[in-house]
Structure 1
Amino acid sequence: MNRIWVVVPAAGRGQRFGAVIPKQYAPLVGAPMLVRTLDRLLAHPKIAGAMVALAAHDPHWPGLTELEGKPVRTCIGGEERADSVLAGLRALADSVGNDDWVMVHDAARPCVRHHDLDALIEQGTRHSDGAILAAPVRDTMKQGAPGGRIEKTLPRSELWRALTPQLFRYGALFGALQQVLNDPALKPGITDEASAIEALGGRPLLVVGDDDNIKVTTLHDLALAEFILTSPA
């Protein structure tokens, strides 16, 4: 198996984060969070390089072209996450084939661990529809009703939190995103790459990942990410 390229959508503004700069550039252990995320990914021996989808005229991008001895390439992303991922895949067309595996990883998940990447690659490349890292839900889950009342309790044994990276064959993911983004009935339901595959009948594999592979959404999350990254492994 060839080494795997990873697409990192980083064109968002992160409005819920509450800072003057997009959250992917918030300082984290001495570097912008996006750089910490890329460094974590590119230090893995099976990752070949990264394609980062940026906002047009992004003034914060540090101009990286290489990290951990591997290429860092950029392209212009889109308004929504799926648009940015599709742009990143399109920009990789000269580097990967339809049957090659590609990953997609959130710019704001800097704490992903290498043993989780190992598990995702080892299990996901044996599954025809690809795979995602995910964490089983451990809390009791309630479905709400109008007025803030409980409608019912959901069986948590069937519920998972979707994480990233997510791993798919290049041609399958590219084709799925193209199709769903051009379908007004399907596009609103596409919140991650797996949902695009699912919309066309695929059933990606769930690979158990660590709970501390958090997505930084608030300043509190940023402090937690710093704690995770600076704590002994």
Structure 2
Amino acid sequence: MQRQIIAIIPASGVGSRMNATLPKQYMKLQGKTILEHSLALFLQHEKIQKVIVAVSQADEFYQDLAILKSDKIQIVYGGETRADSVFNALKEVNDETWVLVHDAARPCLKRSDLDKILQISDLNGGILATPVVDTMKRANTQSQIVKTEDRSTLWRALTPQFFNAGLLKKALISAFQNNETVTDEASAMELLGYAPQLVEGRSDNLKITRPEDLALAEFYLAQEGRKND
């Protein structure tokens, strides 16, 4: 029996580090908003039945975005944190469903990476990630180096992250009850005792966080556009 798969896009952040006048997901690259680029692949994929977008209750922009009126999209209100927003979306999902959680500000995800993570069926779930290639330093509170970390077992977490909805819901509830810090869905699953699989993805699946990221994302999207011409 084919699994039901739903994508969740937490898009209620304000992107304060971008120093912009609007949330970063509504900034434009190649004539489209970052959010439109991030949503496109999930809307096109035949194995994904629905996309739930979590927006802020104070969001003044989402109603003007035509893509969000798609029959395949459901809008919910997000919360104060990413985990809250994902949990609000999970309330709309059957526990047997599998969910892909993807950052609204990752517009450069490739179909090949999405197909790779969709192959996961183990209840541990999994995430896209890339091995760390830079030298990693651990610092103290004064920003002084304490030690150089062994990077051979370090990975940089990406999205989408792919889990059974019921288990992820349980993991988030447990984290909330124990006042645990949850920075991504995998960290919640880890706290519950699961060991998500690391699926090596492309390094150009960047998250737009700072102004300089826009130019790099623009370059990656332009390169992809030339391939498709």
| TM-score, scaled relative to structure 1 | 0.90
SS at match of 2:17: helix
- d(CA) in 2 for partners of 1:106 and 1:39? 13
| Correspondence 1:101 to 2:98 | yes
In the alignment, is the contact (CA less than 8 A) between 2:6 and 2:97 conserved in 1? no
Give the direction of change, closer, same or farther, for the CA distance of 1:147–1:74 in structure 2 (3 Å limit): closer
1:195 to 180, 187, 195: 187
- d(CA) in 2 for partners of 1:45 and 1:223? 31
Unpaired segments ≥5 residues, structure 1? none
Q: How do 1:1-233 and structure 2 match up within 5 A?
A: 1-61=2-62, 62=65, 64-66=68-70, 71-92=72-93, 97-122=94-119, 124-125=120-121, 127-145=122-140, 147-184=142-179, 186=180, 189-231=181-223, 232-233=226-227
In the alignment, is the contact (CA less than 8 A) between 2:127 and 2:160 conserved in 1? yes
- d(CA) in 2 for partners of 1:212 and 1:147? 32
Residue 102 of structure 2 aligns with an amino acid whose one-letter code is H
In the alignment, is the contact (CA less than 8 A) between 1:24 and 1:108 conserved in 2? yes
SS at match of 1:38: helix
- d(CA) in 2 for partners of 1:214 and 1:151? 28
Aligned length: 221
1:80-135 deviation line (CA, Å, top 9, x unaligned): 0000000011123xxxx32221110000001011110111111x22x221000000
- d(CA) in 1 for partners of 2:128 and 2:162? 9
- d(CA) in 2 for partners of 1:180 and 1:146? 26
- d(CA) in 2 for partners of 1:104 and 1:57? 22
Percent identity (aligned): 44
Which range moves more in the overlay, 4-13 or 138-147? 138-147
In the alignment, is the contact (CA less than 8 A) between 2:139 and 2:146 conserved in 1? yes
Unpaired segments ≥5 residues, structure 2? none
In the alignment, is the contact (CA less than 8 A) between 2:26 and 2:34 conserved in 1? yes
Residue 170 of structure 2 aligns with an amino acid whose one-letter code is G
In the alignment, is the contact (CA less than 8 A) between 1:40 and 1:110 conserved in 2? no
